Amino acid sequence: MMIFRIQGINRFDRAIFILLVSLLFGGLGGYLTPCRIVTIFYVPLLLKCFNCKQLHVKNITYCFFVFYLYCAVSFLWTPDKVQGAKELIYYPIHILYFLEIVVFSKLSANPLKSIALGWTINILLSSLLGLYEIITDVHFSIGVDQQSDRIMNFGHIQVLQRFARVFYANYNTFNTVITFALPFITYYILKYPSNKCLRRIAAITYFLSTIIVITNGSRGGILSIILITASVIMLTKSSREKNIMVFTLCVMFMFIFYYFYTEIFTIIEMRISEGNIYEDDTRSNLIKLGIQICIDSVGFGSGVGSVQAKLGLLNKGGITITHNMFIELLSQYGILFTVIFMLFILKLFKRIRYIIDQNRRAILYSSFVSMPFYMVIDSGYLLYPQLYALFASLYIYCTHNPRSVDYTSKETITSIHLNT
């Protein structure tokens, strides 16, 4: 029987789903996380797929090769050789993960649906675990801090902060991953009105994950959710979809208000009163220090795995992580690769206007508009497999053309040996 089928799903749809769901386990397993194990497992299939001439992924592969080559060369001047060596091991696996999502999507029967389903099930399961953490105050063993509810002191006021981080090192990482996934979860709500089961699953996932972010008290996460929801409501023509989103949002806030008002809103109010809801002096200073690191390196960056060591020297006794993906890239790898990355984002953004599907355009705009906020929630973005999953998903949603690969052609089928 031929595995390749235009209707339904094929082995590549299943591979995409498994790759995205494997992100659920976060840092479980240490260096060899389930996500990395799954990535390595699919390498033979990826190599077979590269024989297909119609995939058009050579340019992306070359760009990643040049980036990794520069990372390897920068090891010569990085001040932190141990961290640099770790990152040189992680990057190839994460790059392979990105390429697997992209290549398998080009050969799958329904890549947009498979990506959306993978993100949705991932966040649904992790949100259920997160809700268990919030309710029971029992946290999983991953991470070195935040093992119990934190007592936050705001002058003479003490607030008990509940949080959820499941298998991630801290709850900021969990918040970030949720905001990565929300546009793709929303796609299910918008795109498949006839499939009530999938639509309900997506709506429940959206609802639960939003509760998690607000409970965790993430300013960047809350702003991202507001922008994502507002963008979808404004850009979607169907009144039915708008009503669903508005209803979900109202129910969500009613639930949060009733159960968690005292804890959550006091935390948010206090954090806002410290300064701007989005920026504060500490983060502004980290941005300045990150730029200073780039300037000190004459624009070449301080080298692979170096940002914490360099910030430790410049910000003695202070925070040594950037909390900003763009500054992290700039400080470690310099101006050239930061500009290339920004151009990549801009190119994807410009392609949205050529997409006919209104719902697809809406969720893409929502993701790009909220990007400046969800990219400053956490730190260590370049070591996130979730980051590579996000941009692989955005790349496919921006560029997918059902006719770009002729799945029925003898050349395509023969070249990747999919007979069983």
Per-residue pLDDT of the chain (420 residues), as tens digits, is: 333 333 467 899 999 999 999 999 988 888 889 999 999 999 999 998 887 766 778 888 899 999 999 999 999 999 999 999 999 999 999 999 999 999 999 999 999 999 999 999 999 999 999 999 988 888 886 654 544 446 555 555 555 677 888 998 888 899 999 999 999 998 888 877 667 788 888 888 998 998 898 888 777 888 888 888 888 877 776 666 556 666 666 666 655 555 555 555 555 555 555 544 444 567 788 888 889 999 999 999 999 999 888 988 887 766 777 888 999 999 999 999 999 999 999 999 999 999 988 889 989 999 999 998 888 888 788 888 999 999 999 999 999 876 544 443 444 444 444 433
Q: Rounded distance, CA 150 to CA 138, Å?
A: 13
pLDDT at 371: 92
Tokens coding 127: 């949100």
| The Cα angle at residue 358 between residues 357 and 362, in degrees rounded to 5 | 120
pLDDT at 239: 60
Q: Rounded distance, CA 386 to CA 94, Å?
A: 9
Helix/strand/coil for 234: helix
In a domain, 121, yes or no: yes
In a domain, 409, yes or no: no
Phi, psi (rounded to 5 degrees) for 199: -65, -40
* 406 phi-psi bin (left φ>0, alpha ψ -120 to 50, beta other): beta
In a domain, 408, yes or no: no
In a domain, 339, yes or no: yes
Contact 35/23 with Cβ under 8 angstroms?
yes
Please report, for residues 32, 94, 234, 248, 330, the alpha-carbon distance to residue 82 in angstroms, rounded to integers and kept in the order given.
Answer: 17, 19, 48, 47, 20
Angle at which helices 11-21 and 111-136 pack, to 10 degrees? 30
pLDDT at 132: 92
pLDDT at 7: 47
Tokens coding 213: 């972010």
Residues 6+ apart with CB under 8 A from 129: 140, 164, 166
Overall domain count for the chain: 1
pLDDT at 170: 84
pLDDT at 408: 38
pLDDT at 385: 94
Q: Rounded distance, CA 28 to CA 55, Å?
A: 33
Range of the domain at 328: 11-402
DSSP-assigned letter for residue 419: B
Q: Rounded distance, CA 9 to CA 157, Å?
A: 55
In a domain, 263, yes or no: yes
In a domain, 66, yes or no: yes
Query: Which of 344, 414, 363, 289 shows the shortest CA–CA distance to 2?
Result: 414
Helix/strand/coil for 2: strand
Q: Tell me, what amino acid is at 145?
A: D
In a domain, 259, yes or no: yes
Torsion, Cα of 377, 378, 382, 386 (10° steps): -80
* 30 phi-psi bin (left φ>0, alpha ψ -120 to 50, beta other): left
In a domain, 411, yes or no: no
Tokens coding 14: 């299943």
Can you give the pTM of this predicted structure?
A: 0.85
pLDDT at 90: 94
Contact 172/212 with Cβ under 8 angstroms?
no
Q: Rounded distance, CA 225 to CA 257, Å?
A: 17
Tokens coding 385: 């497999």
Residues 6+ apart with CB under 8 A from 228: 179, 182, 183, 186, 366, 367, 369, 370
Please report, for residues 161, 259, 260, 326, 376, the alpha-carbon distance to residue 266 in angstroms, rounded to integers and kept in the order given.
Answer: 10, 13, 10, 31, 22
